[in-house]
Structure 1
Amino acid sequence: MTPIRHNASGGSDNDTVLDAVRDCVLAVGVRRTTLTDVARRAAVSRMTLYRRWPDVRSLVGDLMTREWIAVATGAIPAREPGTTARDMLTEGLITAVRAFRAHPLFRKILDVDPELLLPYVLDRRGASQEALLELLSGSLREGHADGSVREGHPERQARSVLLIVQSFTLSLRTMTDEDDPDLASEAFLRELRGILERTLTP
């Protein structure tokens, strides 16, 4: 599996700050979070924050990169004997969608500050998306090598897969109108599994 490289946290000091901004966002949302609040929770001065982050949105951007990459890498299943790269990729993606949708920070942003995600859906790729594409491309190349994934341009395939998975992650609740949304979500994830299998199988 291709390793993901990122510098969103940059060390334990920055992790302390990102932990603080996460706590603030979970408590009051992004719009009501201030650098003063973050500095107080992290026990650092505001000038310490300003030297690295000019505003709360840049802080939250680094936080999202750290959290989303952790979700994605945590969803990668352990390789079992006889398991193909396609099996691992499909299982990892389903697990990741489920984990994203249960993640407290993701749910808070989606509920309170959804406009924060719009640039990464409509205008540009963010650091976490680039890292996810790197991970996907590596997995697809492994699938090409073991014959479990249809041949194709790995970067283009990775982008196509991310578009599919991203739509299920961000928009699934707009399509679940049953009485039991959790049961409906699992039904849609079974559909996603079928889509991915048909997309990737040679």
Structure 2
Amino acid sequence: MGEERARPSRGRRDRREDLLAAAARRFVAAGIRRTTMEDIAAEAAAGKATLYRHFGNKDAVIDALLAREAERFERRLVAAADDADGAAVGVEAAFLAGVDFFVTHPVLTRGRDEESGVLLPRITADGGPLVRRGLDIFAGLIQDGIAAGELREVDPPTTAEVLMRLVLSYFAFPPMHVRVDDPREAAAFAHALVAGGLGAEPRPR
């Protein structure tokens, strides 16, 4: 009985994901401002009524898409930090992963570049899902490093905010002097930032 009741829920989630994937494709191809709910339904091979049952309007589609991408953003940061050797390197790796996530994301960059600015305010808002996830992850990594004696005593929320604002600045204003698409140059910058600029370097033993 429990499995039978769960099937419609899974089917609804799958359909919702299909609709969001279709919306992402249309946003990249035609632009967010020009994409209509009818376009999204057609891309998903779904009826308009189906789309409207899941999302009341295009704003709801955008918000749901950003919430989904926030979950992916969190997983990317965590995976990067988990693969690193040590807390400081983990913070550096998460920072680089965050920059890469934003500057290479087709929907986010399309929304950034549109004249209407329909997506950028949602992305960079302090209360937005992407910012919240980033702040939580960075603060947690820094706190863990301090507790382990690997990082200096800094204020985790404040330092996390600096890191997240830098990630967003690279997204909103493409860099002129640091090539974030060059792994070695980006890594050197991240190391200098974390080890020096933020004072989050390993403690002397």
Change (3 A) 1:151 1:168: same
CA distance in 2, matches of 1:172, 1:189: 17
2:171 alignment partner in structure 1? 169
Change (3 A) 1:88 1:104: same
CA distance in 2, matches of 1:36, 1:151: 53
Given residue 139 of structure 1, which amino acid in structure 2 is its aligned partner? L
Given candidates 124, 134, 137, the residue that maps to 1:135 is: 137
Instruction: Check the 8 A contact 2:81/2:93 in 1, yes or no.
Output: no
- 1:90-169 equivalences under 5 Å are 90-112=92-114, 115=117, 116-121=119-124, 124-169=126-171
Given candidates 22, 39, 45, the residue that maps to 1:20 is: 22
Change (3 A) 1:80 1:49: closer
TM-score (norm 2): 0.75
Unaligned ranges ≥5, structure 2: 1-11
SS in 2 for 1:147: coil
Change (3 A) 1:120 1:182: closer
2:40 counterpart of 1:38 = yes
Identical positions, percent: 22
2:52 alignment partner in structure 1? 50
Q: Quick check: which has more Rg, 1 or 2?
A: 2
1:167 CA displacement: 1.2
> Per-residue displacement from partner, 1:30-88 (whole Å, max 9, x unpaired)?
0111111111222333233333423213212221232243144224326469x212211
The aligned length equals 187
Instruction: Check the 8 A contact 2:36/2:58 in 1, yes or no.
Output: yes
CA distance in 1, matches of 2:188, 2:58: 38
Change (3 A) 1:107 1:120: closer
SS in 1 for 2:174: helix
Instruction: Check the 8 A contact 2:23/2:61 in 1, yes or no.
Output: yes
Change (3 A) 1:152 1:128: same
Larger RCO: 1 or 2 (CA < 8 Å, sep 6+): 1
Given candidates 55, 58, 61, the residue that maps to 1:59 is: 61
1:5 alignment partner in structure 2? none
TM-score (norm 1): 0.76
Change (3 A) 1:64 1:119: closer
Change (3 A) 1:197 1:181: closer
1:196 alignment partner in structure 2? 194
SS in 1 for 2:158: helix
Change (3 A) 1:193 1:62: farther
CA distance in 1, matches of 2:116, 2:76: 24
CA distance in 1, matches of 2:195, 2:63: 32
